[in-house]
A and B are shown apart, each in its own frame.
Chain A
Amino acid sequence: MADINEIIKEENLVYSKSKILTDNIMSYCPGCTHGVVHKLVAEVIEEMNIQEKTIGVCPVGCSVLAYKFLNIDIQQASHGRAPAVATAVARLKPDKYVFTYQGDGDLASIGTGEIIHACNRGENIVVIFINNGIYGMTGGQMAPTSLIGMPTSTSPYGRDAKLAGNPLKITELIAQLPGTTFVTRQAAHTPAAVRKCKKAILKAFENVGNKKGTSFIEVVSTCSSGWKLSPVKSNEWMVEHMLPFYQLGDLKDE
């Protein structure tokens, strides 16, 4: 063990928690993808040195808790209305880096109108969209993005397309809008995916600096509590079921 103590020294540190993250204990469930994405956002803000210039907008859902963990200015918005609030912030303070952080029950359901029009107007913001196919905070109800056959607390026998419609690929809809400059779908279940996701977030924040329009990043995520699986099994379930439908990659990069 003496050997280990020789390695654990300040000068040998190669990776540690971003300084933009607060010291609060993350209140998310074990293995929640929110934690990974929070970390990536914090690392990007730290690398770009824009802590004082970043304003986040977090609406309702687990995503609203971000203000506890990110040491930046954050404005809360009503359910689904983050893009509308972000529009106002970005127009009033054009030198700031404004981003929204939304879940799928928020962005793809009650907030569909706001997100489509904000992207169509090409507001100079970043949209980070956490898609886990479920309403996590309220108890695992079916979301517009739930897969066909996916069991949720309001569709215990699986989502039925005849009854509840088809899962919504909102990122594909957004990619068609002329206001968007960068539309991508990422995941954060493996180290390689996390690195790619971080690159996408970095690019999106750079696009805001270059006033290029809306950058939209979907992160296909897990909800181990809502899916009633362990965190490791959730990742496996996501790879097996979510990723064939929500295919990863850049949909638009101009």
Chain B
Amino acid sequence: MAKVKGAIKVDVEKCKGCSLCVVVCPSKVIALAKEVNGKGYNYAYMANPEECTGCTNCAMVCPDSVIDVYRVKAQVGA
């Protein structure tokens, strides 16, 4: 059975840690990192990458356009 799998890539230095992407993610994939970037913001990262479906919700609401979304149809199971 084909399952859609996704992944996001965050431009860490440009992320301001507003966490708008965290609350719109339907699969609770994104969280803010404990580490900070050069500007002192806790940036967004994939805390739960297995669940990402590449729905683009996070990138859609990101005010700083720092999220790139990738998506593949992966074969899982037999």
A residues with a Cβ closer than 8 A to B are: 1, 3-4, 6-9, 12-18, 21, 25-26, 28-36, 39, 188-191, 194-195, 224, 230-232, 235
A contact face: mostly helix, strand, loop, or mixed: mixed
Cα distance, A14 to B62, chains bound together (Å) = 15
**B52-78: which have CB < 8 Å to A?**
54, 56-57, 59-72
> Chain A's nearest CB lies how many Å from the CB of B14?
5
Q: Other CB < 8 Å A-B pairs besides A4-B49, A13-B69, A15-B60, 17 of them? A: A7-B54, A14-B6, A14-B69, A17-B65, A26-B63, A26-B64, A30-B17, A31-B19, A34-B63, A36-B62, A36-B63, A39-B62, A39-B65, A191-B57, A191-B60, A194-B61, A231-B20
Query: For the complex, is B46 an interface residue (Cβ under 8 Å from A)?
Result: yes
| Contact present for A194 and B60 (CB under 8 Å) | yes
Q: CB-CB < 8 A to B24: which residues of A?
A: 190-191
| Contact present for B70 and A232 (CB under 8 Å) | no
**B15-49: which have CB < 8 Å to A?**
16-20, 22-24, 41, 46, 49
Cα distance, A3 to B46, chains bound together (Å) = 13
With A12-B70, A12-B71: A7-B63 Cβ-Cβ less than 8 Å: no
Q: CB-CB < 8 A to B64: which residues of A?
A: 25-26, 35
| Contact present for A30 and B7 (CB under 8 Å) | no
